[in-house]
Structure 1
Amino acid sequence: MHVPDGFINAPVSIAAGVAAAGAVAVSLRGARRELDERTAPLAGLVAAFIFSVQMLNFPVAAGTSGHLLGGALAAVLVGPYTGVLCVSVVLLMQGLLFADGGLTALGVNVMNMAVVTVIVAYAVFRGLVKILPDTRRSVTAAAFTGALLSVPAAAGMFTLLYALGGTTDVPVGKVFTAMVGVHVLIGIGEAAITALTVGAVLAVRPDLVHGAGSLVTPLKLRVDGRLVDAPAAAPVAAPATTRPNRKIWATGLVTALLLAGFVSFYASSSPDGLEKVAADQGIDQKVTEHAAADSPLADYGVKDVGDARLSGGLAGVIGVGATVAVGSGVFWAVRRRRAEDHGADDRTAASAAL
């Protein structure tokens, strides 16, 4: 659902960009509460994984394909604020390096694919988790449902922006019907990928799933012969968490590299839902060439590499590497800011005590 330049006029694109910048700013602040020394590396990996899976278009109807948007997956794994940042990093890398999604439409894409998907998916997820039993199956089912509904919600957001600033005269009702119709089907694929991924992480490290906090067994301490819950701030021994985290991180990175570098070659070549609707309804009449159309990695291929399999595979590997590097840098910076804030709070409390 990457919107190219020319679908939405300049005033609405600018307004969407301002709204997206505000959402990212709020998310940067909110992510300080979600990220710690365990989850900051995971967040960079989630961004890279979303990038790789977005390269795997799957068929949903005759001549139409879909791909993961990733908002639901990111929100459940690392939290809603961090989830917005994960998908935003992916969109930035795709727009700058691969000419996928217009640069003037970056704000539109962040609103559609990052903000709306995360808000809808996480709201549905939290609502279901509260009423379902505290089991892994319930968390997985809630993630599935949130992901399923987030995709047509993003299609609805695109339709709203088109109604406000579309550059063609196609009736909004036709655009809405076509967009939501095809993206309901794409949502099924989104839901399946999200549920499978969340379920896989739950099976090995439920403590690393932000949305599964109720499933984590609290650390017990023996006090006067009785077992009691340890305080929430009790530290966990570094060797017990660092090694498994490294294993999870390495496994996830290798998986992302394999998906982007090898499996992506077998992805559907049919246009995705937005491209198909745009062509069928005529809303692509004023699309403009991407500013990075001459990029060495444009269209997910390495320039001057003749073999299509090798070209696409190298581009995928480079994309995963760039995304995990940029994402990890952003999340470590947020994590460091959280530590600085806590240090300042501790100093203030100490001064007040004196």
Structure 2
Amino acid sequence: MRTHAVAMHMSDGLVNGTTSLLFGAVALIALAIAVTRARADLDDRTAPMAGLVTAFVFAVQMINFPILPGASGHLLGGALVAILVGPWVGMICIAIVLVVQCLLFADGGLTALGMNITNMAVIGVFTGFLVALALRRLAVRSRGGLIVTAFVAAFLNTVVASLGFVLEYAIGGAGGASLGTVLVLMVGLHALIGIGEGVITAATVGAVAAIRPDLVYLLRGAPGSALARRSGVEAGGGVA
């Protein structure tokens, strides 16, 4: 079985209609707030980066990596977008990816779209951002500290996002499996997926920071940051 088909990209019929409508409303409210708050974060650096990040997450999510025999995973992208463009813009980026995947590629059910957005674009992005924010003092010291921060944030955002599905299944599960089985399966598999998520996120964030640290949202305005000082010197260098 493919992990994303069973887990994070939820299909139709795993929960009842009432639960689907409930989390559809949660997703709509969260996105409305994100659109309002994202305006303050969008500037001449964030806007182009948001487009690039959205395209990158979309492309990488189409590639699965094996985690166990018969099980595979892919990037969720919550911590990645939160670190690079912030939580509000990042939420919109992931939501766009999920909508396109659902409508054009049937990746995730239409009735489950609200739950998928809630899990990956809301819970995933904000978990990644809050973890990265908690580790910001480490991240601003050096590129190595930023890479460690990105890995930890990505790992935890993957596991916590999987708990969103467990909550939704607990409220209105219609898949026939027991809640205990779903909990163990989701957390266990996504702990493994989180390792791959962490590696991809750390490598991507590290690559951006090596060239243009001023484009990394998490580093902006960080006092005493070696990377922030470097970004001030190199900001005029342009982006290849």
Report the TM-score when normalising by structure 1: 0.62
Q: Aligned ranges for residues 343-354 of structure 1 at < 5 Å?
A: none
CA shift at 1:219, angstroms? 5.2
Number of the residue aligned with 2:36: 29
Residue 216 in 1 paired to residue 231 in 2? Answer: no
1:39 is displaced (CA, Å) by 1.4
Q: What's the counterpart of residue 151 of structure 2? A: 144
Residue in structure 1 matched with residue 207 of structure 2 by the alignment: 200
- 2:139 and 2:24 map into 1 onto residues whose CA distance is 37
Query: For 1:154-165, what aligned pairs fall within 5 Å after superposition?
Result: 154-165=161-172
Aligned-partner SS, 2:176: coil
| CA deviation after TM superposition for structure 1 residue 133, in Å | 5.9
Which residue of structure 2 aligns with residue 186 of structure 1?
193
Distance 2:139 2:95 in 1: 31
Q: Does 2:90 correspond to 1:78?
A: no
Q: How has the CA–CA distance of structure 1 residues 43 and 178 changed in structure 2, closer, same or farther, with 3 Å as cutoff?
A: same
Report the AA paired with residue 137 of structure 2. K
Distance in 2, matches of 1:159 and 1:183, equals 12
SS in 2 for 1:65: strand
**Is residue 102 from structure 1 mapped to residue 109 from structure 2 by the alignment?**
yes
Shift of 1:129: 1.4
Q: CA separation in 2, counterparts of 1:200 and 1:219?
A: 18
Per the alignment, residue 128 of structure 2 pairs with 121
Q: 1:20 is matched with which residue?
A: 27
1:139–1:211 CA contact under 8 A, matched in 2:
no
Equivalent position of 1:38 in the other structure? 45
Q: Trace 1:259-338 onto structure 2 (pairs within 5 A).
A: none
- Report the counterpart of residue 135 of structure 1 in structure 2: 142
Query: Helix, strand or coil: the match of 2:75?
Result: coil
Aligned to 2:118: 111
Report percent identity of matched pairs: 49
Residue 12 of structure 1: how far off its partner (Å): 0.6
Which amino acid is the alignment partner of residue 71 of structure 1?
Answer: G
- Mark the structure with the bigger radius of gyration: 1
Would you say the 8 A contact 1:20–1:110 is kept in 2? yes
CA distance, structure 1, for counterparts of residue 113 and residue 122 of structure 2: 12
Could you say which structure has the greater relative contact order, defined with CA pairs below 8 angstroms and 6 or more residues apart? 1
Mapped partners of 2:60, 2:138: distance in 1: 31
Per-residue deviation, 1:155: 1.1
Q: Do the aligned partners of 2:65 and 2:72 also contact (CA within 8 Å) in 1?
A: yes
Distance 1:195 1:204 in 2: 14
Distance, in Å, in 2 between the alignment partners of 1:200 and 1:133 is: 15
Shift of 1:66: 0.4
Structure 1: which 4+ aligned runs deviate by more than 4 Å? none
Q: State TM-score, norm by structure 2.
A: 0.90
Question: Structure 1: where are the runs of 5+ without partners?
Answer: 221-236, 248-354
Give the letter for the 2:49 counterpart: L
2:54 is equivalent to residue 47 of structure 1: yes
- Structure 2 CA distance for aligned equivalents of residues 168 and 219 of structure 1: 53
Check conservation: 2:213, 2:219, Cα contact below 8 A: yes
Conserved 8 A contact 1:151-1:186? yes
Deviations 1:247-306 (A, max 9, x none): 3xxxxxxxxxxxxxxxxxxxxxxxxxxxxxxxxxxxxxxxxxxxxxxxxxxxxxxxxxxx
Is 1:9 matched up with 2:21? no
Cα deviation, residue 130, structure 1 = 2.9
Q: Which runs of 5+ in 2 are unaligned?
A: 1-7
Matches within 5 A, 1:53-72: 53-72=60-79
For the Cα contact (< 8 Å) 2:138–2:145, is it kept in 1?
no
- The alignment of Structure 1 onto Structure 2 pairs a total of residues equal to 227
Paired amino acid for 2:228: V
1:90 aligns with 2:97: yes
Question: How far apart are 1:42 and its partner, in Å?
Answer: 1.1
Question: Quick one: distance in 1 between partners of 2:139 and 2:30?
Answer: 30
Alignment RMSD:
1.8
